[in-house]
Every structure is written in C-alpha cells, then in structure tokens.
Chains A and B, each alone.
Chain A
Amino acid sequence: NAGVTQTPKFQVLKTGQSMTLQCAQDMNHEYMSWYRQDPGMGLRLIHYSVGAGITDQGEVPNGYNVSRSTTEDFPLRLLSAAPSQTSVYFCASSTPWDEQFFGPGTRLTVL
C-alpha cells in the first residue's frame, strides 16, 4: 500500500511551458484534492474531485486544469507556466468521512 504518490519530486520550467503533475492513490478513496503551498504560507486549495468524472474549483484555480478519469489518478495540468506558480504542490485523498492523506509534494520552480 503506497498511499498517495506524486511525480515528479522536483521540476524546473521556463515561463510559458506546460506540464502535468501526477498524483495517484491506491486506497480506493473517492475524494482527491490539489493544494499549493507558498513559502511561509498555509496550503491553498486549487481543484478537487469527489469522484471519477467530477471535479470542481478551489480557492486558487486559475492557470490549472484537472480531470479525473479513474478513481486512482488525479493529474494537475499547468497550461502556461508563470513565475507566480512557483510553489510546492500537494495532492491529497480521502473517503468522505475520514482524514485526508497527503502525498510528499512536488517542488516546482518557474523561471
């Protein structure tokens, strides 16, 4: 049972490039979420999903897309990277009733 896995661990992009951050969980959790954490700040919700085929926006969705075609995977796409998207990105999963389990994070730098 690997829990929540995220790839890559580190990524450097140039402004304007696009990329996909991967998130997978093997706990059969219905709920999955993406957060970003800027230095000295708490986590802020980007997008979330309550089941396959269902996604919705969080607090800071601009510049990001998500889809949820399977229960296990919830990729986050950066459409055109900007320096303001330099951050640490965390994926989380849970059942509707229990605590969230977080992945180890992806550290993204946009130059």
Chain B
Amino acid sequence: DAKTTQPTSMDCAEGRAANLPCNHSTISGNEYVYWYRQIHSQGPQYIIHGLKNNETNEMASLIITEDRKSSTLILPHATLRDTAVYYCIVRVAKGNFGNEKLTFGTGTRLTIIP
C-alpha cells in the first residue's frame, strides 16, 4: 500500500471548517484513500473514503486532486467533539485482499479551539 504523509498537528476554531491535508504521491490506480479518526484512546472510527471523485457523507467531505497524489478531509463545521487524531490511509481497491490489514501512520492531531 502507498505511504501517506500528514501534518503532525493542527488547530481549528469551533464552528469553522477543518481542512486536513494528506499526501500520497505514490498511490496506485487501484488504491482508495480512507480516513479514520481516533478520539482520545478509543478504537479508530471510519469517516469516509474515495477513489478519484470527491465524496461527501454526513460526517465529512473528501477532496482528491485530479492526479490523486493528495487529498483533503473537510469537517464543515467543527465541534469540540471533533478533537481527535485523524489518519489518512491508502489501501487496495474493494474486492481485493487488503481490507484486513490497514497501515496506520501517526496521523494528524486536530484540536478544536472553543
């Protein structure tokens, strides 16, 4: 699976949009970008994933550049409960082996400021 690079930490004001970048310059054509987050010391929680089109769900939006070498996770109206470590993970496409062994980096520690 491709390696990802994320900033170590970020702050965001409550109510504002939080934009978390991720570089994955060695991503392959059949690899998806997944985002998980870990609140305090709980188990990681899935947020969103995408291949090459922008994606949106009830939690966040995912913007993937046209060359697919980077992406941005957007939390549109950040709340204090969004304070967490956010992990950007690249893995092989659905239907292939790989979903059982995600590779986590150190992620971005996002702090929402009141």
The 8 closest A-B pairs by CB, nearest first: A102-B43, A99-B46, A42-B104, A31-B100, A43-B104, A97-B94, A48-B100, A42-B106
B17 at the interface (CB under 8 A from A): no
- Bound Cα distance from A96 to B45, whole angstroms: 17
A75 at the interface (CB under 8 A from B): no
- Bound Cα distance from A96 to B79, whole angstroms: 32
- Bound Cα distance from A97 to B99, whole angstroms: 7
| Binary interface encoding of chain B residues 76-114 relative to chain A, with 1 for a CB under 8 A from any of its CBs, else 0 | 000000000001000000111101111111110000000
Least distance between B97 CB and chain A CB atoms (Å): 7
A-B contact count (CB 8 A): 68
A102–B100 CB distance below 8 A: no
Q: In the complex where A41-B106, A42-B104, A94-B100 touch, is A88 in contact with B41 (Cβ < 8 A)? A: yes
B99–A31 CB distance below 8 A: yes
What are 25 sample pairs from A and B whose C-beta atoms fall under 8 A apart? A31-B100, A33-B101, A41-B106, A42-B107, A43-B104, A44-B104, A48-B101, A50-B97, A58-B101, A92-B43, A92-B44, A94-B99, A96-B94, A96-B96, A96-B97, A97-B94, A99-B46, A99-B49, A100-B44, A100-B99, A101-B46, A102-B44, A102-B45, A105-B42, A105-B43
- Please give me the residue from chain A that is nearest to B46 by CB atom: A99
| Binary interface encoding of chain A residues 94-111 relative to chain B, with 1 for a CB under 8 A from any of its CBs, else 0 | 111111111111010000
